[in-house]
Structure 1
Amino acid sequence: MQSLQRLSCEAEALLSELEARGMRIVTAESCTGGLLASCLTDIEGRSHCFERGFIPYSNAAKHDLLGVPRALLAECGAVSKPVATAMAQGAFDRSQASLALAITGFAGPGCEGEEEGLVHLAAYSGDALLCSELHLGRAGREPIRRAAAAAVLRLGRALLTGDARPMPAASGVNGHPIIDAR
């Protein structure tokens, strides 16, 4: 399970990369409900790196706030790589940020047919995109939310540094790797 202290370290590492490059970040998060934005804004002295955050929890909000096409939501489902990508691109386009991070997933417990712990992540910078799919299992809502936030922070840093290697299984939840960038 990701501790809040570990999550804070991941946020600090990404904010350091952003600050060194004179960049700002925007977030679009569904299943984490603002946890990612909170972690980024909790870091003292780095608020100038945070541009804004969106919490488009419903499909209507994903469409209204970020421009995710209704047809894409209907065809792929809200928890999918194409929707995570569209969320990141929509947040980027609707902000003055130079990096967008997006999270969409099932933190659980889910409805029938939903895989609890399935999370899709995207990091987008206007000229580069990294996506990741997590299968975190039935770890519970809070551990899944924390693991997803930590993973997208690492994904964003990987996009900035050019290092998109998978993270070791030890850093996952229930033995599942955090980043499986493809």
Structure 2
Amino acid sequence: MKINIAIAIFLTSTFPIKPVLADAHPIRSDPSLREVEWQLGMPLNKSFDLVFAQPTSLEIKISPRNDLNSGEVKHAAIFASFQIDVFPPTRLGLRWTPGNSDVTKTIAKIKGKHNNKHILTVIITTETYKPTKIYDDGWIITNNKMTTLTGSIRPFGDQNVPSDTYTISLDASAFIS
């Protein structure tokens, strides 16, 4: 037993043992100091985004007519007008607010507030800027940058409108590409 301990002491003093670390990698050695720096594991990485936003002001004004009467309504009638203003100029978009009516792109079927069997079918039209794209999700977006988009809410075809209250809701947004 004394011989085994003496051999172990002799071997460790003659042949120094380097520490063995799981996933350790030598990354730098300094020959003058006879040292090796060991990297343990993989380096941590953290990235982040620097977002430089441009202050934007966006406003939508809706002016419903207050002189509407039930009965026959012609397709050329105007129920409400809208104006969207933005600064700085961007592509502007408008859509029916999702979930408030039965919508197919620019056309909405609005149920009466007092009787949900009363249906008013309306369409969004834009007057300021005709070259727009209509997307499947209902957004009507101008092709070019602008500061103002105006338009109206009109009946979709001639209709006999029952006396009721019809709530219309629109979304407006500025788009960049």
Give the shorter-chain TM-score range: under 0.3
Query: Which structure's residues are more often strand, by fraction?
Result: 2
What TM-score does the superposition give when structure 2 sets the normalisation length? 0.22
Please say which structure displays the higher CA radius of gyration.
2
Q: Which has the higher helix share?
A: 1
**Normalising to structure 1: TM-score of the pair?**
0.21
